[in-house]
Structure 1
């Protein structure tokens, strides 16, 4: 069985089987947050893991997607589902416009430039109160799909609906990312990651590929932001904040940025670990930071790739 099929099978099993062990609706809520973060991190796998480009401002695109779901229905009369597509289109357009000059930079110059983009989006969302209602946030209308399911006899609570819907979107997003990996474009992206000079030597359009990866990852982040806004029915500028961008990159690197499944597990760990560590109250942040430091020191490729390599070593 190929890696793509194994990854999709594992994700599908997790989505379907995990509720068997959920004692309450709270766990559906945590599960849906894991899937939303997993979707955003999958986009970073394409950008960082495939193309080798860094971004510290991707939460800005999540903010655009989230606020599109709030503002487009109120001001343009769009259905929230169409607002999701509008947010994705706006994020793609902004990524294309900004990515053309920014992606000429390398290393920490690129990181700082993308960081600036995220901060600008966050500032606009927080300061333009006449449109976004400022730091207090804004309500987001209901998507309406749960009511549609009830009409055909499928009765789910709000938490259950968003769990399965977010899980479905994650599986589709993973399928697209894995297909991209095996495509000629994916092979070119990996060649670019290995060496830009070598990639140019064999005729690869490096600038165009970087831009494609940046735009695709921006769309993933926008969709994740839209899902988060729709299930919370509320959105604040924090979703586009600097710390959210850092969390997204940390999730990808912690799990294994070169692997869709690994990055998903990184997102799952950083989403659930704070819930577990609340029993330590005052020491929660210290323990969380310690766990991340130990993982990065002793598992530099990421959690999942390191664990799989250790298991293969034992088999031999």
Structure 2
């Protein structure tokens, strides 16, 4: 029986996640792996917005990451919620804010949309940094333990902290990738891909352009929020930097670098830009220069992204 491309993608992703720990020389690599999965989840949401919905660039998505992260810190303190429930609340809040913010800004195009979304992200970052009485200000605040490790320990599954968050973040990423791939093959996904080809042509055949662009924005915001919640839960501490401008730029760069039209491509971009700074520490003060050089080379010679370009070259050689 021949498997679908969606199933093959998910199986390949799950296999890589399961096999990677066999090559980890220390628990530190579990930490790096969990960060890759956190970033991978955020960029999967950006694939829906940038790749599926016709290149809607958002430079403020770290704002939604910050909302999800601080929901896990604030809701347990002020509402008495378990941090996992708080993560769901943060995702719902991010979706609602994205719906309200997206209605006016998604009428803009090109760099106007990018600048408008950048303003939203900057506003969230400023609120988190300045409302010290609520958020702890620049010093940040602690995040309560959700108690998941203790629950697993009660059924004789005892993982180290790093291994547990590696496994938990991996499961969330695979679920997120599965949902995004299902969306791609759904009627909504086909409508979004029609926007990618031409908004005018899509409107001509009856696609409600504004509604579907807004849906893509809301979905990507929810992904970003859950990503922020995962980061907060595993770090047990959060600062306003998580909602900063540079984090938004990093997420968009990961998405475009790996291939914005492909879920597995964008995740590969997250792998590269999360691990590369660890590798380039041997260059010390030249680290940022080397990182920028690698990104420039990929964007010049592999404009569709790293994974799609390599895949196309391999298929061309096989013919």
TM range (shorter): over 0.9
Shift of the alpha carbon at 1:143? 1.5
1:197 maps to which residue? 200
Alpha-carbon distance in 1 for matches of 2:245, 2:123:
10
Q: Distance in 2 between matches of 1:71 and 1:247?
A: 26
Match 1:22 to one of 13, 21, 24: 24
2:45 to 33, 43, 46: 43
Aligned-partner Cα distance in 1 for 2:71–2:95: 13
Question: 1:236 — aligned with what?
Answer: 239
Q: Determine the structure 1 residue equivalent to 2:254.
A: 251
Equivalent positions of 1:208-247 (< 5 A) are: 208-247=211-250
TM-score of the two chains, using structure 1 as the length reference: 0.99
Q: In the TM superposition, what whole-angstrom CA distance separates every residue of 1:195-238 from its partner, at most 9, and x where no partner exists? A: 11111100011111011000000000000000000000000000
**Matched position secondary structure for 1:63:** helix
Provide Cα deviations, 1:16-48, integer angstroms capped at 9, x if missing partner.
111111111100000000000000000000000
Write the deviation string for residues 250-286 of structure 1: whole angstroms up to 9, x where unpaired: 0000000000000000000000000000001011000
Q: CA RMSD in A?
A: 0.5
Cα offset, 1:163, TM superposition: 0.1
Q: 4+ residue runs of structure 1 moved beyond 3 angstroms?
A: none
Unaligned stretches of 5+ residues in structure 1: none
Q: Give the match for residue 318 of structure 2.
A: 315
1:100 is displaced (CA, Å) by 0.4
User: Could you give the per-residue CA deviations for residues 99-137 of structure 1, whole angstroms, max 9, x where no partner exists?
Assistant: 001100000000000000000000000001110010000
Which sections of structure 2, spanning at least 5 residues, go unmatched? none
User: Could you tell me which of 99, 109, 114 is aligned with 1:111?
Assistant: 114
2:13 — aligned with what? 11
User: Does 1:160 find its partner at 2:141?
Assistant: no
Shift of 1:3: 1.8
Between the two proteins, the alignment pairs up a number of residues equal to: 316
- Report the alpha carbon displacement of residue 8 of structure 1 after superposing the two structures with TM: 0.3
What secondary structure sits across from 2:25 in the alignment?
coil
Q: Does 1:187 align with 2:190?
A: yes
> For 1:307 and 1:142, how far apart are their aligned partners in 2?
42
2:97 pairs with 1:94? yes
Q: In the alignment, which residue of structure 1 is the partner of 2:69?
A: 66
Q: Tell me, what secondary structure is at the counterpart of 2:297?
A: helix
Report what 2:153 is aligned to: 150
Q: How many angstroms does 1:54 deviate by?
A: 1.1
Give the drift of 1:2.
2.1
